[in-house]
Amino acid sequence: MTQTTEAPAARLTHQPEAVAAPPARATATFAKALNAALADTMAADPGVLMFGEDVGRLGGVFRITDGLTARFGEERCFDTPLAEAGIMGMAVGMAMNGMKPVVEMQFDAFAYPAFEQIVSHVAKMPNRTKGAVRLPIVIRIPYAGGIGGVEHHCDSSEAYYAHTPGLTVLAPATVRDAYFMLREAIAFPDPVVFLEPKKLYWSKEEVDLAELRRTFEDGQAPRRIGRAVVARPGTDATLISYGPSVPTALAAAAAAEEEGRSIEVIDLRSIVPFDDETVCASVRRTGRAVVVAEAPGFASVASEIVARVQERCFHSLAAPVLRVTGFDIPYPSPKLEHFYLPSVGRILDAVDNLQWED
């Protein structure tokens, strides 16, 4: 096994010292945070394996697995033949035999050949065996649109997975969550579908990845699976969102503030398990809600959220819960996708329609 020493601290000592200004805050992209989460987990747990298509020498088409083969060897991060059912089925067997496989489905729509394995075995094996076989598998899926991708590269496929009992479905929206949630997913005893919003891969935050690692490994990172978070507090209405739509919801909330409305934004982070408590607490406070999601709206995760909120918060609601989702059409080609995606304007229109009394 080849090991290259990774010593970012050592590299920093070679920086010229003539920096008079206070040291720049470290920044990292969403993609780099995922990469670091994989590397840190593989360093900490020899049972963790990473495999899929082009994840070896290339480092993945989005470079999420960059450097893992060089650092951990071909046994632990490797390319498979081009066959998603094969990747998924082999992961099931590896998990049955003591490993913690992390697999990459190269794009959302390319995961569909693996669907039978996911639905019939990954999701059901623990139940079938009354817990005798647990499957600690993470299925990483670069997902959703907004990147000008061609057909089959931009699907929002979360409803398929969320509809399948036995699966845990996560969709981070921030760099910090990307790191913590991927580590939490790999440590989780049950199979996780980990949806990585492609359009956020290049988003940046001021975070120090080494600090995130210490926080996680010291057990100081609060649990995120099953826990939504208030991404922006507000008092007049709640936007409920997850994954790629969170930044859009936040932008809409900022725009609404200029119009004098205080909008709260909930970032679900975890689609399954669903955090009814955080979502309903917010809606009961504000009395109004709009669900924002990129997937087609019919029979979607957004539909489920609306149903749950209305069942639980009916007497607190001043208006019907509305949705801003994709249209019920196949994901459009690049020149047309901006007509499809939930936009700030569409969210503000929905907020305007929440039966305000003023």
Partner 1 sequence: MSTAINGGRGSMMGGASGGTPPAGAGALLPSAEPVQLVGPDGQHVHDDRYPLPDGEQLLRAYGCLVAGRRINDQANALVRQGRMAVYPSSHGQEACQVAAALVLGDEDWLFPTYRDTVAVITKGVDPLQVLTLLRGDWHGGYDPHEHRVATQATPLATQLLHAVGVAHAAKLRGESTVVLAMCGDGATSEGDFHEALNFAAVFHVPVVFFIQNNEFAISVPLKNQTVAPSLAHKAIGYGMPGERVDGNDLAALLAVLGAAVNRARDGGGPSLIEAHTYRMQAHTNADDATRYRSADDVERWVPRDPILRMRTYLRALTLLGDVGERAFADEADAIATAIRKGLNTEVEVNPAELFEYVYTEKTTQLREQAQQLREELARDAAADAASVDSASDDVEHQGKGDQR
Q: Does 223 bind partner 1 (CB under 8 A)?
A: no
Q: Does 86 bind partner 1 (CB under 8 A)?
A: yes
Cα distance between residue 53 and residue 64, in whole Å: 12
Q: Does 311 bind partner 1 (CB under 8 A)?
A: no
Q: Does 127 bind partner 1 (CB under 8 A)?
A: yes
Cα distance between residue 71 and residue 69, in whole Å: 5
Q: Does 222 bind partner 1 (CB under 8 A)?
A: no
Site string for partner 1, 313-342 (x = CB under 8 A): ------------------------------
Cα distance between residue 250 and residue 2, in whole Å: 44
Strands in 227-349 per DSSP E:
229-232, 237-241, 263-267, 270-272, 289-296, 322-326
Judge contact between 175 and 208, C-beta under 8 A.
Answer: no
Distances, alpha carbon 333 to alpha carbons 153, 264, 326, 329, in Å: 10, 32, 14, 11
Gap between the terminal Cα atoms of the chain: 68
Q: Which of 8, 22, 98, 219 binds partner 1 (CB under 8 A)?
A: 98
Segment near partner 1 (CB under 8 A), from 27-35, 116-124, 231-239, 282-290? 116-124
The footprint of partner 1 on residues 147-176 (CB under 8 A) is 165-166, 168
Segment near partner 1 (CB under 8 A), from 12-20, 115-123, 258-266, 282-290? 115-123
Q: Does 140 bind partner 1 (CB under 8 A)?
A: no
3-state SS assignment for residue 196:
strand
Segment near partner 1 (CB under 8 A), from 8-16, 73-81, 155-163, 253-261? 73-81
Q: Does 67 bind partner 1 (CB under 8 A)?
A: no
Distances, alpha carbon 35 to alpha carbons 99, 178, 213, 355, in Å: 20, 10, 12, 45
Instruction: Return the number of the residue (119 or 255) whose C-beta is nearest partner 1.
Output: 119
Catalytic residue among 14, 152, 153, 315: 153
Q: Does 74 bind partner 1 (CB under 8 A)?
A: yes
Find the DSSP H helices in 123-239.
125-128, 158-162, 175-187, 209-217
Cα distance between residue 238 and residue 354, in whole Å: 11
- If you ran DSSP here, which 8-state letter would residue 226 be given? T
Cα distance between residue 150 and residue 303, in whole Å: 27
Instruction: Verify whether residue 153 is a known catalytic residue.
Output: yes
Minimum Å gap between C-beta 113 and partner 1 is 7
Q: Does 52 bind partner 1 (CB under 8 A)?
A: no
Site string for partner 1, 239-278 (x = CB under 8 A): ---------------------------------xxxxxx-
Q: Which of 130, 220, 314, 357 binds partner 1 (CB under 8 A)?
A: 130
Cα distance between residue 180 and residue 34, in whole Å: 9
Instruction: Return the number of the residue (29 or 282) whose C-beta is nearest partner 1.
Output: 282
Judge contact between 271 and 253, C-beta under 8 A.
Answer: no
Segment near partner 1 (CB under 8 A), from 91-99, 206-214, 282-290, 328-336? 91-99
Site residues (vs partner 1, CB under 8 A): 1-2, 49, 56-57, 73-75, 78-81, 83, 85-86, 88-99, 101, 113, 116-117, 120-121, 124-134, 165-166, 168, 189-190, 226, 272-277
